[in-house]
Amino acid sequence: MSATEATQYAHILTEALPYIQRYSGKTIVIKYGGNAMTDESLKKSFARDVVLLKQVGINPVIVHGGGPQIGSVLEKIGKESRFIEGMRVTDSETMDIVQMVLGGLVNKQIVSDINQAGGRAIGLTGKDGNLIIAEKLHLKSKEMDSQPSEIIDLGHVGTVKKINAGIVKLLDNEKYIPVIAPVGVGEDGTSYNINADLVAGEIAAVLGAERLLLLTNTSGVLDKQGKLLTGLNHQKIKALTDDGTIQGGMLPKLQCALDAVDAGTESSCIIDGRVPHAVLLELLTDEGVGTLVRK
């Protein structure tokens, strides 16, 4: 290693120090999905990032998705995937597949990756210890303003009613890394498929997390010229929504980010999960790699 390279490495390490001190003992909730969860090299770099955070005293909590994996299994058994307003229609048979894929295949693979990287991960679904109490999502739709709202039945699609965070705190205190699949349970024992962004935001709020990171397949919120925007708040997001800059699938992610900061999370960030070590770059460097949302 040359003297110049050594100096660069030393600079990177010392740049991370104040951030390590800032987040030591704090909880960071990470919604893990997209390319970062399917590309093998990105999976390995994510696992190492999470283990490093835990090693320096930060408490990462992982909430993962798994839409593509669910779709793949449904296709193999000859069942068509149906979506309404971006949400998967989930009948009883599909719910069985959702639980099998999210709570089994995907969850245990993430746990294995983290453990292989030297961490101590434990996989959970929202049904374990009644972690996520859910209720049925009632989606309303209407074709014209003059018509009454129509209730669309999405089946076993739910929303979060309550988070019982004691089990997550217990695992944090015992130096484990919780990995949570977004499957909730109703008070009558019914299982529900819940949007992973929503679950991550709710868990961040209940835990009083310092940061919420939402990994996506884009670099963040972009302006109309394709430039990354950051430092957003309610007012800026409303203006960008009104002029059409923000639309589509980014809207619910930003609402999730806003809800978390309104509930007490210090800040939320939408980051590009396609960037190797995106989590470390966002948390432990001066520049960051995504769109920061503050109250």
Does residue 148 register a pLDDT over 60?
no
In 3D space, the residue among 249, 257, 250, 214 whose CA is nearest the CA of residue 232 turns out to be 257
Please report the pLDDT score of residue 141 as a whole number. 66
Report how many domains make up the chain: 1
Does residue 139 register a pLDDT over 60?
yes
The distance between the two most distant Cα atoms of the chain, rounded to a whole number of Å, is 73
Does residue 147 register a pLDDT over 60?
no
Q: Residue 65 is which amino acid?
A: G
Residue 26 main-chain phi, psi, to 5 deg: -95, 160
- Show Cβ contacts of residue 2 under 8 Å, excluding neighbours closer than 6 positions: none
- Show Cβ contacts of residue 138 under 8 Å, excluding neighbours closer than 6 positions: 151
Please report the pLDDT score of residue 53 as a whole number. 96
CATH value at residue 206:
3.40.1160.10
267 and 292 Cβ atoms separated by less than 8 Å: yes
Top-confidence residue, 140 or 96: 96
Beta strands per DSSP E along the chain: 27-32, 59-64, 83-84, 87-88, 121-125, 132-136, 139-141, 150-152, 158-163, 177-181, 183-185, 191-193, 211-216, 267-272, 290-293
Within a domain: 180: yes
Please report the pLDDT score of residue 149 as a whole number. 59
Does residue 140 register a pLDDT over 80?
no
**What is the domain range of residue 157?**
27-285
Within a domain: 73: yes
70 and 93 Cβ atoms separated by less than 8 Å: no
- pLDDT tens across 273-292, in order? 888 999 999 999 887 788 99
184 and 191 Cβ atoms separated by less than 8 Å: yes
In 3D space, the residue among 27, 39, 73, 41 whose CA is nearest the CA of residue 178 turns out to be 27
- pLDDT tens across 172-230, in order? 888 999 999 999 999 999 999 999 999 999 999 999 999 999 998 888 888 888 888 88
Within a domain: 230: yes
Q: What is the pTM of this model?
A: 0.90
Where residue 144 falls among pLDDT bands split at 50, 70, 90? very low
Calpha distance 127→146 (Å, rounded): 41
